Structure 1
Amino acid sequence: MNETDWPTVGTLIDELYHATDALEKMFPGRKFTLDGHLVGSVGEVVASFMFDLELNPASTLGHDARAKDGRKVEIKLTQGKSVGLRHESEHLIVLSRPKGRSISVIYNGPGALAWNAAGKMQKNGQRSLGLQKLRMMAANLGLEQQLPLVRVAPV
C-alpha cells in the first residue's frame, strides 16, 4: 500500500464539509450533501486502509473490494442515518463520518444479514437500512463473521 498523507486527506474532507455548509447558508432551503461517487470513493479508500482490502477497479459491479481471505466486500460510507443497498453482498462494511467527526465502523459482517434486514426495494433500486439497526446487528456478530481491523480509521 502506498504511503498516503492521511492528515491531508482529513483536511480535504473537512474542507468539502465546510463548502457544503457555506452553500447551504447562501441558498437557504437547498441541501448540498456530499454523496454519490465522492463519498463512495472516500469510504472505499478508507476501508481499504483499515481492513487491508484490495480495491476493485472503480464502478465494478457487485463488490468494491476483496479481503485477504477472498471474501467479496461491499463498502458503504454515510454521513446520514441510513445506507442504501442495491444487492446482497457477501460481506458488508458500513462506515459513518458525521460532519466534524472521525470515521467509525457501524457494521462489519455478512451481507446477507444486512440485506435481509433492509426495507423493501424503493423506486431508485435501493433498499434502505438504518445505522441504528446495523449497530444492533453488529453487536451480535462473532469475530469469525467480521473482517479483522488492521488499522484504525485515519480520518
Structure 2
Amino acid sequence: MIDHDRLKSLVQQLYATVSELEAMFPGRHFTPDGHMVGSLGECLVADAYGLELLTASNKGFDALSPSGLEVEIKATQSRSVAFRSQPAHAIVIRILNDGSFEEVFNGPGRIVWEQFSGKRRPSNGQFQISIRRLGQLNQTVAEDDRLPAVT
C-alpha cells in the first residue's frame, strides 16, 4: 500500500533540495534526470492512477491497471520522450519543479506508435516524440480510452 502523503512529501523535498542547490550555485543545474525521473514518474503515476508497478525495466510496460491492462509510463522534464515498442496503453507525464506532475498523454499506445509509421528505426532503437505532439494527440483520445486518476 502506497503512503500517498509520504510519497508527495518526499518528491517535494527532492525538488526543494534541487532549488536550494541551484540558488547556492547560480548557473548550475541539478535537475534530476535519467533513471531517477523515470522511476519517480512510474511511482507518481502508479499512485495517481491506482496501478500495480512491475519490476523495474520490465520489457514493454511498467504497470498493470486493476483490469489487467499493460501500461507503459513515461516521465520527462524535457521536451520529448522515447518509445522502443508499441505499448497497449501509455501515460506520459511532465514532472514539474514543485514535484507535482501534469498529464501529457493518457491513451492507447497505438495512437503514439502510429506517429512512427513508415519511419526508419533510429540506431538506438528508440523513436522520439515531442511533448507538444503528445499533447495534441491526447486531445484526440476518447474519455473511455483513458485510465482515470484515483487520487
Local SS of the residue matching 1:150? coil
Alignment of 1:8-23 (within 5 A): 8-15=9-16, 17-18=18-19, 21=22
CA RMSD in angstroms, aligned pairs only: 2.4
Following superposition, the deviation at residue 100 of structure 1 comes to: 3.9
Q: Judging changes above 3 Å, is the alpha-carbon distance between structure 1 residues 81 and 16 closer, same or farther for their aligned structure 2 residues?
A: farther
Residue 127 of structure 1 is matched in structure 2 by: 127
Q: Judging changes above 3 Å, is the alpha-carbon distance between structure 1 residues 101 and 37 closer, same or farther for their aligned structure 2 residues?
A: closer
Identity of aligned residues (%): 31
Alignment of 1:90-101 (within 5 A): 90-100=88-98
- How many residues are paired up? 148
Unaligned stretches of 5+ in structure 1? none
- Residue 73 of structure 1 aligns with an amino acid whose one-letter code is V
Taking structure 1 as the reference length, the TM-score comes to: 0.82
- Residue 101 of structure 2 aligns with an amino acid whose one-letter code is I
The answer (yes or no) to whether the contact 2:15–2:99 under 8 Å persists in 1 is: no
Q: Judging changes above 3 Å, is the alpha-carbon distance between structure 1 residues 17 and 44 closer, same or farther for their aligned structure 2 residues?
A: same
Residue 7 of structure 2 is matched in structure 1 by: 6
Following superposition, the deviation at residue 140 of structure 1 comes to: 1.3
Local SS of the residue matching 1:129? strand
- Residue 127 of structure 2 aligns with an amino acid whose one-letter code is R
Unaligned stretches of 5+ in structure 2? none
Q: Deviation per CA, 1:84-105, whole angstroms, max 9, x where unpaired?
A: 1111100000000233463010
Q: Deviation per CA, 1:38-62, whole angstroms, max 9, x where unpaired?
A: 1111011110011100111112111
Following superposition, the deviation at residue 134 of structure 1 comes to: 0.8
Q: Judging changes above 3 Å, is the alpha-carbon distance between structure 1 residues 91 and 59 closer, same or farther for their aligned structure 2 residues?
A: same
* Counterpart-to-counterpart distance in 1, 2:24 and 2:59: 33
* Counterpart-to-counterpart distance in 1, 2:18 and 2:114: 33
